[in-house]
Amino acid sequence: MKNEPVRRRHHRSIISAGCLALIIAPLIIIIGVFFAIPLLASQSVGPASDRMNGFQHFQYSVIMLWYDGLITSPVDSSAADVSFNIEPGEDPAVVASRLEQAGIIRNANAFTAYLVYSGLDTGMQAGEFQLSPALAPMQIAQKLQDATPTQVKFVILPGWRLEEIAATMPTAGLDITPQQFMKAANNPQVSFDFLAKGASAEGFLLPGEYTLPRVIRADQLVSFLMNNTALALTAEMRAGFSRHNLNVFEAVTLASIIQREAVRPEEHPIIASVFLNRLAAGMRLETDPTIQYALGFNPTAKSWWKVPLSTDDLAINSAYNTYQNPGLPPGPISNPSLTALQAVAYPAETPYYFFRARCDGSGFHNFSETLDQHVQNACP
């Protein structure tokens, strides 16, 4: 009878060990599943974002395994590319919904979950993309991280000279260097009946905004822009030039001067009339922009258009010095807008021979018929 309590304690120990095993075994299974599912998910769709905590990692790993085929398989392996735009600040879930509507992915929820799982939801960029239903949604998610477009917006401002256009190349998104552009612009590969022999493209790159292929070459860019200018020079405009005894090259040269003189586009026709009146009377044009063009780049002002000009500047020995030389300069000094070109074709009819900037900083000019009136219009 003395050993009975010992046997009872031994029996209770066996029972306790069994209960413990029943508790531990499920825990081991749960822990194994907790680690196994993320491992399986990473093998299927890649690693998870390190921004997620343990529970989130497990939760989204389960979702990845559930959606597996909707993430790893394309909609149509033979489909072509389609254009797809993402607006700035657009929510990833909205993007996913539009991708599904466009037939690029099968399931927006699966795609959104993958973006969160992989951490790609925060790296999605705005822009235009070329996407294909032949890509797996995983690949599409990666492509949306790079908004490098196949086409870019290229801008030429009115009154820019070739060097100013060239300076924009490093930030224009085109695969063209400033040096490549200048080489092509100084030796255009297209010829027109109105282009002077040996002339550069100066004056014939019509300002505006253009959508261009990123991979366009410099010679192709110059040819495209010059062809666009040629199309803008309509038969009616050419007839207008002729009425003022100007050929196309001379008219573009005059328009390039008007572009640099005028701050307000509405004054283009009046300024055109002043220069045409002076040419008809045999007077020198005496216009500052031609001097600025001859001077070239001003390192102090870091500008191609020096302001103000000095007395020595006005005496520069150059064919572009319209204070010394009669008539038009040898060629355009900038790339004029369509408005400036039209002003030469259809100028205002005025008695003016002089103009100077008003003193109020408005950008408008005072016009006069005589030199005395012109002198009186000087600022105090």
Give the chain's domains with CATH numbers.
Answer: 33-149 (3.30.1490.480), 152-221 (no CATH), 235-376 (no CATH)
pLDDT-derived band at 130, boundaries 50, 70, 90: confident
Mean pLDDT for 341-364 is: 95
User: What residues contact 363, with CB distance under 8 A and at least 6 apart?
Assistant: 263, 264, 357
- % pLDDT > 90, the chain: 63
Q: What's the pLDDT at 1?
A: 45
pLDDT-derived band at 12, boundaries 50, 70, 90: low
The residue ranking higher by pLDDT, 10 or 343, is: 343
Write the pLDDT tens digit of every residue in 66-125. Answer: 988 899 899 998 888 888 988 878 899 999 999 999 999 999 999 999 999 999 998 888
Q: What is the mean pLDDT of the chain?
A: 89
Mean pLDDT for 246-252 is: 97
Mean pLDDT for 177-201 is: 93
Q: What's the pLDDT at 257?
A: 98
β-strand partners of 155: 209
292 pLDDT above the threshold of 70:
yes
Q: What's the pLDDT at 25?
A: 56
Rounded Cα distance between 112 and 64, Å, is: 11
Q: Which of 19-23, 87-91, 165-169 has the lowest mean pLDDT?
A: 19-23
Rounded Cα distance between 357 and 105, Å, is: 61
Mean pLDDT for 276-291 is: 97
**Of 355, 184, 177, residue with least CA distance to 275:** 355
* pTM for this entry: 0.67
Burial of 228 (0-12, 13-18, 19+ CB in 10 A): middle
Q: What's the pLDDT at 16?
A: 64
Q: What's the pLDDT at 68?
A: 82
Q: Which of 28-37, 186-195, 322-331 has the lowest mean pLDDT?
A: 28-37
60 pLDDT above the threshold of 70:
yes
32 pLDDT above the threshold of 60:
no
Q: What's the pLDDT at 150?
A: 72
Q: What's the pLDDT at 42?
A: 82
Q: What's the pLDDT at 35?
A: 66
61 pLDDT above the threshold of 80:
yes
Rounded Cα distance between 269 and 165, Å, is: 26
Pairing of strands 151-156, 208-213: antiparallel
The residue ranking higher by pLDDT, 173 or 26, is: 173
Q: What's the pLDDT at 127?
A: 78
